[in-house]
Amino acid sequence: MRMSLDACHEEERRAPDVEAAILGLARDEPGLGQAAVSARLRRDGFAISPSGVRYIWQKHGLETAVKRLRAIAQSTSEGVSALTDTQRGLLARGALAAQLVSADAATDGEPPDRRQVILDAAAALFAEQGYDSTSIRDIASRVGLLPGSIYHYFASKEELYLAVHREGFRRLMAAVADALAGASDPWERLTRVCQVHVAAITSGTYIDRVTGHSLAMTGNPELFAKIRPMREAYENVYRGLIEDLPLAPGADRSLLRLMLLSFLNWVHVWYREGRRSTDEIAAAMVDTLRHGVESPGIASKPLSAF
């Protein structure tokens, strides 16, 4: 009886250690399944079954790899950027699968909105791999459908790409309209629109990001020509805003617009979350254009001096 009591005390002592070990692996290797975690811990001297691992996972809301990845992202200031490319892909696929499941489970008789799910998946792959490197099979695999099912909603990959842009520009124009509401100062109006753009291409959805990047796309002239009308409608917003600015006589407003859009479209390349906010970056860009960077009182050298 004495040995049994000692064994019970030892089990009670080790239980918190087992739980901590399971949670540690959930953080360090979130892709491991319950059987693999059980085997790993048994090698380390912990007596835990696969069902015991799952019990601990469920206790902490970590019973799927997607939930474990979300927990990691939420626990760091870097967010999803803290995950590896493979882990981000798994997280994206899990989110899309959840959309399909929830849509299929609807009880109101409405068909699932698979078209939107496909659009989201296509935008993610276009952003990650580029248009040319993404196939219909890739998109179908991302959402758990057969390739032929994609053609039920979109006639071709090109049509999917154009549909992503139509949706993206629709969202962008709506966000711009909201941002401009109530603003009358021309510099404030320009700043607000730039803030919308920078936020969309750095931290928006994949549809937002692909749409923003298209303003500088040069790799596929034929496809770019089909996007051009949507692009022009959006750039017309900037034309109007810059036309309203009180600029110095002789200022080239067209060049100013192109320079500003170039600045904005490159932010996604170097932006890192945690330093300046996207609003601060956009405001600083507009302020630099407005006031310049030369120190007051320093006269410019004549060209003949160089």
Rounded CA-CA distance 270/268 in Å is 6
pLDDT band, residue 108 (cuts 50/70/90): very low
Asked if the structure places residue 302 within a domain, the reply is no
CATH number at residue 246: 1.10.357.10
Give the number of other Cβ atoms within 10 Å of residue 16's Cβ. Answer: 9
- Shared-domain flag, residues 168 and 274: yes
Please report which helix (H) or strand (E) contains residue 72, including its range.
helix 65-74
Q: Is this structure's pTM higher than 0.85?
A: no
pLDDT of residue 103: 43
Mean pLDDT for the stretch of residues 204-225 = 76
Alpha carbon 291 to its chain centroid, in Å, reads 33
Looking at the predicted structure, is the pLDDT value of residue 303 above 90? Answer: no
User: Do residues 190 and 286 make contact, with C-beta atoms less than 8 angstroms apart?
Assistant: yes
Number of domains in the chain: 3
pLDDT band, residue 57 (cuts 50/70/90): confident
- Using one digit for the tens of pLDDT, what is the confidence trace for 257-288? 988 888 888 887 788 877 788 889 889 989 98
- Shared-domain flag, residues 176 and 261: yes
Residue among 57, 22, 20 nearest 40 (CA) = 22
**Mapping DSSP to helix (H, G, I), strand (E, B) and coil, where does residue 24 land?**
helix
- Shared-domain flag, residues 106 and 125: yes
- Domain extent, residue 104, equals 77-155
Extract the tokens encoding 33.
Answer: 């399944």
